[in-house]
Structure 1
Amino acid sequence: MPVTVTRTTVTTTTSSSSGLGSPVILGSPRALTQPLGLLRLVQLFSTCVAFSLVASVSAWVGFMGNWCMFAWCFCFSVTLIIIIVELGGLQARFPLSWRNFPITFACYAALFCLSASIIYPTTYVQFEPHGRTRDHEIAAIAFSCIACVAYATEVAWTRARPGEITGYMATVPGLLKVVETFVACVIFAFISEPYLYKHRPALEWCVAVYAICFILAAVAIILNLCDCTNVLPIPFPSFLSGLALLSVLFYASAMVLWPLYQFDERHGGQPHRRTDPNCRNSHTQSVCPWDCRLAVAILTAINLLAYVADLVHSARLVFVRV
């Protein structure tokens, strides 16, 4: 039985389905005693401890450290807002669709904490001598992993089930949109240095692909969060299918061109890490330009697979609608 996606209308109620088989009490402290409420307390506590441990020893200097600290602080702040809204029963006054917002954030938060749990140990802990600072960093990583599992559990609990009437972001295509935009943001971080693609038309096209597909996916997410999919001149499922098809074609071209012009010597590429002069003496540098090129190639493949899966599910929604 297919999942039915509806336009969200939130009204003030005393309970709401959490996808756990039992109602969540809203507008009452009892909301925190329900499974989803307890899970959000775990998220709040673990992200708070993670950034507090790192901040207490000032171990977050540099771009990677700033990213990890932002991830933990952002997740903590928005989780706190969600708890306050549910405790106060303020869903009807919240400016975004409440059917779509919590699960969208939970998916992003899981990815944020996952990236922080990988980036922080590889850029800080392995270079830190034994001592108080290193102990704090290891503890922060542990709590970051706990937060990642907690957010992923919320996504698994609250995603759409067959036969449920739900918001688009709780469906598989909606969650894939989150993954697509997040992976694109990571790609942008790796290609932040223009020399990786500047004055090379094929690679500049790849960068354009990443930007265009990111914008299109972000527009789909924003339309759902703002509950204004009806402003489109065509049915929303058809819009999603066309978007997914276009993105698959764009990413397929990037999947061919990026590795070809970055790693093939016949097209000016560098097939091995040692052939990159900026990486030859980088034993103290965790990421060099060749590593960035490889990371972008891998992330391009991941996003291509995500868009293919998105296309399959979006086309199924159109078929069901017809």
Structure 2
Amino acid sequence: MSTRRTSPSSEGILWVFWLLHLPQLCSTCVAFSLVANMDTLRGAIGNWSMSFWCVCFAMTFIIALVECCRHPSSFPFLWYNISVTYACYAALICLSASIIYSITYVQFVPYGPYRDRAITATAFSCIASVLYVIEVAGIWDCYELKEIFFYVHTRRSLLKVLETFVAGVIFAFLSNTSLYLHQLALEWCVAVYSICFIPAAVVLLLDLAEWKYMLPGPFSIFQLVLSLLSVLFYISALVLWPLYQFSEELGGQPQRPSDGDCRDKLTYNMCAWDQRLAVAVLTAANLLVYVADLGYWARQVSVGTEDQPRDSQEVYSPNSDIL
């Protein structure tokens, strides 16, 4: 017996989206504009944060336009999976920009109008991250998830979002190639981040579009092997990166220098030692996420099930009644 799926009216959802999208656009735009007007005092961290806020503004604007123009019955599940996934990433992006910008830049700006602008930009970035979290929670609450299966509602999806996001932040710090090009072991660490990021991103896209059913073998076995390899690779990176970056015997620098870009004052570039430490911390954090992912898929293989809608094992088909 088929279950009739229900959803809120398109007009109601549209108003909810606009009530969130408009302040999201305003918050990211204000944060971007305030930092852009700082001219030469903007620094590399300011440029990096601006790029994040600009991407969030542009993507939110595009999603808002699509919501206004598309018909409610047009690719409903794929679209909302994509929009919720973007909101998750946007929340993490704005939160990371707020933390990194305030810790590495705002506290060193001299007191005055520029410091006030930097603090205000950080505040609006925090507001934007909260608004994106509200959007994710709002979409989950608006739709009856017991009847409609959303990929991003599952634990495995949140783990993939975290894995790819943390890897993206690591890549941002690794834009300074002088951190690793002088040692083969450090180059291997960079290769690990790339090797693990690409399959995680591909799996995320496959599951978003529900293409996992096209794979030749069981999806849970594939994920278990992939997670196990990623854990092993990240363990090697967690050992080698700190060893070659902070061990004096291997050419590393155990303590933070007090000259160059690492002085306790405003500088254009982020301290290279701080970047090394950030990559080490993020490597450990992503290893924990991959271990959680490995534990999840080991349990799925042992039980022989995967995440399904809580009240229905029914897989969505295009011909089913959704309204």
Please say whether Structure 1 and Structure 2 have the same fold, judged by a TM-score greater than 0.5: yes
Cα distance in 1 for residues equivalent to 2:299 and 2:139: 21
How far does residue 229 in structure 1 lie from its aligned partner after superposition?
2.2
Higher RCO, 1 vs 2 (CA within 8 Å, ≥6 residues apart): 2
Match of 1:147 in 2: 128
Match of 1:253 in 2: 236
**Corresponding letter in the other structure for 2:116:** D
Distance 1:37 1:124, change over 3 A: same
1:230 aligns with 2:213: yes
Q: Which runs of 4+ in 1 moved over 6 A?
A: none
Match of 1:219 among 202, 212, 233: 202
Distance 1:69 1:217, change over 3 A: same
Distance 1:143 1:228, change over 3 A: same
Listed one character per residue, the Cα deviations across residues 208-259 of structure 1 (whole Å, up to 9, x for unaligned) are 1111001111111222334422332223232222221211111111111111
Cα distance in 2 for residues equivalent to 1:288 and 1:263: 15
Match of 2:293 in 1: 310
How far does residue 141 in structure 1 lie from its aligned partner after superposition?
1.5
Unmatched 5+ stretches in structure 1: 1-12, 17-22
Match of 2:250 in 1: 267
Match of 2:48 among 59, 67, 76: 67
How far does residue 309 in structure 1 lie from its aligned partner after superposition?
1.3
CA contact (8 A) 2:189 2:240 kept: yes
Cα distance in 1 for residues equivalent to 2:40 and 2:30: 14
In terms of mean alpha carbon deviation, does 237-246 or 82-91 score higher?
Answer: 82-91
Match of 1:297 in 2: 280
Distance 1:127 1:280, change over 3 A: closer
Cα distance in 1 for residues equivalent to 2:137 and 2:284: 24
Match of 1:82 in 2: 63
Match of 2:227 among 234, 244, 254: 244
Percent of residue pairs bearing the same amino acid type: 55
1:202 aligns with 2:175: no
Match of 1:38 in 2: 19
Listed one character per residue, the Cα deviations across residues 152-208 of structure 1 (whole Å, up to 9, x for unaligned) are 233344459985542323312111211111111211222223332224232222111
Counterpart secondary structure, 2:31: helix
In terms of mean alpha carbon deviation, does 114-123 or 103-112 score higher?
Answer: 114-123
Match of 1:167 among 123, 143, 150: 150
1:185 aligns with 2:185: no
**Corresponding letter in the other structure for 2:23:** V
Cα distance in 2 for residues equivalent to 1:227 and 1:199: 43
CA contact (8 A) 1:43 1:150 kept: yes
Question: Could you tell me the TM-score, scaled by structure 2's length?
Answer: 0.79
RMSD: 3.1
Cα distance in 2 for residues equivalent to 1:279 and 1:60: 15
CA contact (8 A) 2:105 2:266 kept: no
Report how many aligned residue pairs link the two structures. 298
CA contact (8 A) 1:169 1:221 kept: no
